Amino acid sequence: MPNNNILSEFSASDIAKFKKDFIQLIKVSAEIDRYYGEARHELDVFIPKFEKLAERFNKKYNGLKIKTERLIDTYKVKLLIKEMDVKEFFANSASRIPGLKSVGTTNFDQVDVGDAEKFSRFLDSIHDKVYISYIDAESGTSTVAAAFDRNEKRVEVIYNPVEITKENSAGFRIVAFYALKNVVDKKIEVYGDASTFGFSNLLNEIEKREWYDRFNPRFLE
């Protein structure tokens, strides 16, 4: 039986430091995206500063790459992990999270993992995308989706900022696993620099629902 605690090999201190760096970075990126949609003039300062910070993050945690994209109305921050295909991603990390409930190749909840025959066929059918749902007594419910990025030759973890900043969520555990499994350059500062952006808004409940709607399964269509 595999160990379901994929972070057990790392020290509590290293996990806590990654959590501070990562969550602060995601919060800043969410605020920049908000400003981007409003075409705020502060972006001329914020975006170059954030992209330099992302470069430092990538050097510090080389198992997890942050890549930014400027789209028409969205400032997208992609999370890319060092896996060569989605099947390996599922086997090495996603399947090891407690509470695995259902999976799919085109949407969530297509195959219940309790159905051994269908689940076995699903494992054989994984190709470029995967949708995964979890339900756990301690962590509650969460979802993860992933797609192979052919340009980067890595697997992209699709996320919404609200869920992935919860340390018990499947998404957070997965990105922490890949970030920490390689050598971490602890000399590089991330959290302190990310805190200098000065954003105070942490998303109210209405805004959280808007984020959930926005980062719906349609993101992989």
**Per-residue confidence (pLDDT) for residue 187, from 0 to 100:** 96
The Cβ of residue 52 has, within 10 Å, a number of other Cβ atoms equal to 11
* 211, 40 contact by CB (below 8 A): no
**Per-residue confidence (pLDDT) for residue 3, from 0 to 100:** 45
Instruction: Give mean pLDDT in consecutive 10-residue pieces for the chain, a chain of 221 residues.
Output: 73 96 93 90 93 97 95 93 94 94 92 92 91 86 93 94 90 97 94 83 51 48 47
* 49, 118 contact by CB (below 8 A): no
Distances (CA, A) of 93 to 5, 9, 33, 151, 158: 10, 13, 29, 22, 15
> Which pTM does this prediction carry?
0.88
**Per-residue confidence (pLDDT) for residue 81, from 0 to 100:** 96
**Per-residue confidence (pLDDT) for residue 213, from 0 to 100:** 53
**Per-residue confidence (pLDDT) for residue 22, from 0 to 100:** 96
**Per-residue confidence (pLDDT) for residue 136, from 0 to 100:** 84
**Per-residue confidence (pLDDT) for residue 197, from 0 to 100:** 87
Write the burial class of residue 47 (CB in 10 Å: 0-12 exposed, 13-18 middle, 19+ buried): middle
**Per-residue confidence (pLDDT) for residue 162, from 0 to 100:** 87
**Per-residue confidence (pLDDT) for residue 206, from 0 to 100:** 44
- Unique residue bearing structure tokens 């605690």: 5
Looking at residue 183, what DSSP letter applies? Answer: P
Q: C-alpha 141: how far from its chain's center?
A: 16
